[in-house]
Amino acid sequence: MIRLLLISNSTNAGEEYLGHSLIKIKKFLGNFQPQNAIFIPYAAVTFSFDQYEQKVNEKLESIGLSVKSIHHFSEPREAIEKADLIVIGGGNTFHLLKLMQDNDLLDVIRKKVQNGTPYIGWSAGSNVACPTIKTTNDMPIIEPQSFNALSLINFQINPHYLDANPQGHAGETREQRIEEFVEVNRNVYVVGLREGTALQIEDHKIKLIGDKPARVFHYGKTPMELGPKDDLSFLCLDF
C-alpha cells in the first residue's frame, strides 16, 4: 500500500514550528512506530543540515518520533533502502531536487514508497513528490539536472496556495501563474494546497485534511474548490 502525507506548509502563522503538522503526522502514522526514519534536509540553504535535523527532532519527540538525517550516511542509497519511514522537509525546492539527483536518490525513494514505505513531506517535500517541481513557488537558486521529481503522484501540487492579490501589486496572482502552467501542460491537474492543509494518500484514495478547501486547476475547466468531503479520485493516481 502506498501511503503519502503531503503537507502544504510546516507552520501556520502564530504557531510554533510544525504546529499543525504534528497533529497530521501523528494521525497519519497511527499505531506505526518507525524504528529507522530517514530525514532528507536538502531543502535547507541558510542553515546547516545538522541544525535542520535537530529542529525537526525537537518537535517530533512530542509524538514519540525521531529521524536521522541522510547526510550522516556515507551510502545514502543504502540508508533509504533500510528506512521504514521517509520524511522530506521544506525549504528551497530547487536545492532539494538538485541534491537528491546528485546523490542518486530519486529511483530508490520511488521504489521504496511504491513498495509500502510511508512518505511524509511538507512544502518542498510535497513538491518533489510530484512528477516535476514546475509548480513550486521557490526561486531557482541552483540548477537541478532536470525538473523531473519522484512521480509518486501524477498531478502537481502548489503548496502555500494564496488567493490574495496584495494592494499595490500589479503582477500575476498565484492563480494566474498556475493557469499559465495548465495552458502549457494541458493534461495535468494542479492542486493548490492552502496553508494548514494536506493530502493524505493511501493507494488510490485521496483525502484532503484541514479546515480550508483546495483549489484544483485543469486546462479548459473552471478552477474547483474542493473540501475534505469531496471525492478527489479523479486526480487519477497512477502507480
Q: What structural domains does the chain harbor?
A: 3-235 (3.40.50.880)
Per-residue pLDDT tens digits for 87-117: 999 999 999 999 999 999 999 999 999 999 9
- Judged against a pLDDT cut of 50, whether residue 121 lies above it is answered with yes
- DSSP state for residue 148 in the 8-state scheme: B
* CA dist list (Å): 90 to 22, 118, 232: 14, 17, 24
Collapsing DSSP to helix, strand or coil, 202 comes out as strand
Residues forming the active site: 123, 138, 160
Per-residue pLDDT tens digits for 39-82: 999 999 999 999 999 999 999 999 999 999 999 999 999 999 99
- Residue 95 near residue 45, CB atoms below 8 Å: yes
**Sign, CA torsion 51/69/93/113:** negative
- Judged against a pLDDT cut of 50, whether residue 234 lies above it is answered with yes
Q: Is the model's pTM score more than 0.75?
A: yes
Residue 167: the pLDDT is 67
Residue 163: the pLDDT is 86
* CA dist list (Å): 62 to 22, 59, 197: 9, 6, 21
The residues, ordered by sequence, that sit 6+ positions from 38 with a Cβ below 8 Å of its Cβ are: 67, 68, 69, 70, 79, 80, 83, 85, 86, 87
